[in-house]
Chains A and B, each alone.
Chain A
Amino acid sequence: MTLIPLLFNGLSYGVLFFCMAVGLTVTMGMMRFTNLAHVSLCMLGGYFLVQLTAVWSVPFLVMLPLVFVLTAALSAALEVAVLRHFYRSDQLSQVLLTIGLLYMSITAAAWFWGPSYKAVQLPQWLVGQVEFAGMSFERYRTFLLVAGAAITAAIFYGLERTSFGATVRACVDNQRVAAASGLNTSLVYTLTFAIGGGLGGLGGALSANMIGLDPNFPLRTLVYVLIIVSVGGMGSIMGTLAAAMLVGVLDVLGKYYLPSYGGMMIYLIAIGVLIWRPEGFFRMKGQHA
């Protein structure tokens, strides 16, 4: 009977990773842009949440969309001001640029919010456990699963059923043809980037309560997010979802069944999957160099 709570904990953990990684997988897959500073946006989402609760005491459920909008706006600004000038650079320059931004964000966060951990004030209805079939489940994790399902549904609906989604897919498949057909690709890029950043901020805000929020947040999460993106396959949302859930579940299971080696589990999965399928779970269709 311990397996069910473990799976529950693992899946809710996976939701956090999915939210944080999905924006990165889109920018890496679609724009071929390696944006390591994506995790900084996640951290900022967390700090926005703390700031909004502490200063304006906005209700939690109103706050999450607000965090999304704020981080999305910030991502768009970042894309327009800095990142878009480097789309044509080689990957090493992109990595150096964005890792620099990441370190800047760490120092900036320490300056604004201080170096210590910030606690997230949750509404009472998200604190504690619920009993179900003789097992206790954390309310916050239940909420994470519901929120995760809603976010996933929204992403898939947006990509598959809306004309903006069709435009994004067109740009992912072949940017030059899309531009030649009259699509404003640079606007699509900015918007996609904003949405990816916004989702990251939302993921960061949701994880702040579970994995802690301090200026070092980006460095702590970067490895996990990169593993999920590469295991899932760059540009594949389905793959990112699968990889995030797999990493979340196996991390929790590993820590339970093999407490001495549990921390190594995710690295072993990453190595295994990448040997088996170097492109990740889901190879992108029609990928071009």
Chain B
Amino acid sequence: MKRSLTALAAAGFIAGIGMAPAIAQEEFKIGVLMSYSGISATIGASVDEALAHYMEEHGDVVAGRKIVLVRRDTTGPNPEVSRRAAIELITREKVNVIIGPDYTPNVLGLAPVLNEMKTPAIITGAASDGIVQAQSPYYLRTFYSVSQNIKPLAKWAYDEGFKTIVHVTADYGSGINAEEVFKATYEEAGGKIVEAIRVPLRSPEFSGYMQRIKDANPDAVMVYMPLGELPLMFLKAYSDAGLNKSDIKLIGVGDLTDETILDAAGDTALGAMTAAVYSPSDPSPENQAFIKVQDEKFGGEPRVSLSHVAGWDAINIIYEGLKAQEGKPFDPDAFIAFAKGREFTSPRGPIKVDPETGDLIQNLYFRKAEKVDGEVRNIPFHVVPAVVP
């Protein structure tokens, strides 16, 4: 009996080997083009976690195709490197779709490559207005656009009773974009920008600016800065100067108190009110389930942030798009056409791909940084649903 079982197992094994090539699945390669090193290596790590989480939950075979991820490092805002990596991904690795890139310069640098190679890419980390469909018909974005975030924020700030504001941003393309949008919306509502400060991107010392804010004594300070060192340094200087204990309120776009820097910022972030398209503390069941699995799988390091959800939504769109093309060779144009106007449920809430811009129509959460269970979290207190990009 035992012997026959062994023989049977052996036969099955051999048959298995023999069959393998016959039933070998077609591979479907997804290029992941992210910052894995340099100042924003956390972004790459976060997106990777979300992708691993998604593929474990949904399997790695979609519509008969085996999903394979191929990673490349953009090293940060570096269009030359991103372009080279993208060309390599498409021509040598034969990827069908790209998740990424991050940073506006990388997005702009990649657009001609995508147009020529007809390869869809889902941007997960660059916020400038007008860089998605306007740059390439193959671009979609699961992040947010500056206007989408800042217009409602400016209106809310005025309605909240902040009549004078000092606007602080970093001196780069997206920052100037943000300042213009905020100023236009806020002053139209009736508010007054008493001072607009543009800090250099590499400027670790803020005390001069803090003195300026003190002298201007506005109702609120509005901050838009790229994710990373600047918001952290700003929060530090703001509380060192004692401004967090003054009557001046601190408001900003979510990056100011993004979860990736919140532990390092600690108490300096407390009280900051920010608007963001994702809030990890949102109580919706989808979000809580997402957070729970993330924390169990990866020990909560780095903390779940918008980068995670942007990666999650990107691969979700790819999976759904592939299912729609079951049994046919992958058609990039049909993929984009399928995605446009489609609605998905995401940990961040209901989302819909805007057919015109390629951006998401999504909720905007207003959050306040508070200390809960010994850690600083962004607690949502107000939601604007279905904000158009």
Contact = CB atoms under 8 A, between A and B. Distances in A.
Interface of A: 2, 5-6, 9-10, 13, 107, 110, 115-119, 128-129, 136, 138, 140, 209-212, 214, 216, 220, 251-256, 259-260, 262-264
Given A119-B265, A252-B207, A2 B240 contact: no
Contacts of B142: none
Interface of B: 37-42, 45, 171, 195, 197-200, 202-209, 211-212, 215, 229, 232-233, 236, 240-242, 260-261, 263-266, 302
Contact of A252 (B208, B229, B233): B208
A14 to B, nearest CB: 10
Contact of A220 (B45, B204, B208, B302): B204
Nearest to A255: B208
A263 B200 contact: yes
A9 B208 contact: yes
A17 to B, nearest CB: 10
Contacts of B171: 263
A24 to B, nearest CB: 18
Contacts of B242: 128-129, 136, 138
B369 to A, nearest CB: 15
Nearest to B202: A220
B208 A212 contact: no
Contacts of B198: 259-260
Contacts of A5: 211
Contacts of A128: 242
Given A256-B211, A259-B212, A118 B264 contact: yes
A133 to B, nearest CB: 16
B208 A262 contact: yes
Given A115-B42, A117-B264, A138-B240, A2 B211 contact: yes
What's the dominant secondary structure at chain A's contact region?
A: helix
Contacts of B199: 255, 263
B233 A211 contact: yes
A176 B202 CA distance: 43
Interface centre among B40, B171, B208, B266 (most CB of A within 10 A): B208
Nearest to B44: A115
What 5 pairs between A and B have smallest CB-CB spacing?
Answer: A263-B200, A255-B208, A211-B204, A115-B41, A9-B207
B308 to A, nearest CB: 14
B241 A138 contact: yes
B233 A212 contact: yes
Contacts of B232: 117, 212
A253 B199 CA distance: 14
Interface centre among A118, A211, A255, A263 (most CB of B within 10 A): A255
Contact of A2 (B38, B200, B215, B263): B215
A6 B208 contact: yes
B389 to A, nearest CB: 29
B264 A116 contact: yes
A116 B302 contact: yes
A209 B232 CA distance: 11
Contact of B212 (A117, A140, A209, A256): A256
Contact of B208 (A118, A119, A138, A256): A256
A262 B41 CA distance: 29
Nearest to B233: A212
A66 B91 CA distance: 54
6 contacts: A2-B211, A115-B41, A117-B261, A138-B240, A255-B212, A259-B197
B260 to A, nearest CB: 6
A6 B211 contact: yes
Contacts of A138: 240-242
A3 B232 CA distance: 26
A256 B39 contact: no
Contacts of B202: 220, 263
Given A214-B229, A259-B197, A116 B208 contact: no
A107 B73 CA distance: 14
Nearest to B241: A138
Nearest to B41: A115
Contacts of B240: 129, 138, 140
B264 A252 contact: no
A205 B209 CA distance: 24
Contact of B41 (A13, A110, A136, A253): A110
A10 B207 CA distance: 8
A252 B205 contact: yes
Contacts of B261: 116-117
Contacts of A9: 207-208, 211
Contacts of A251: 205, 208
B176 to A, nearest CB: 12
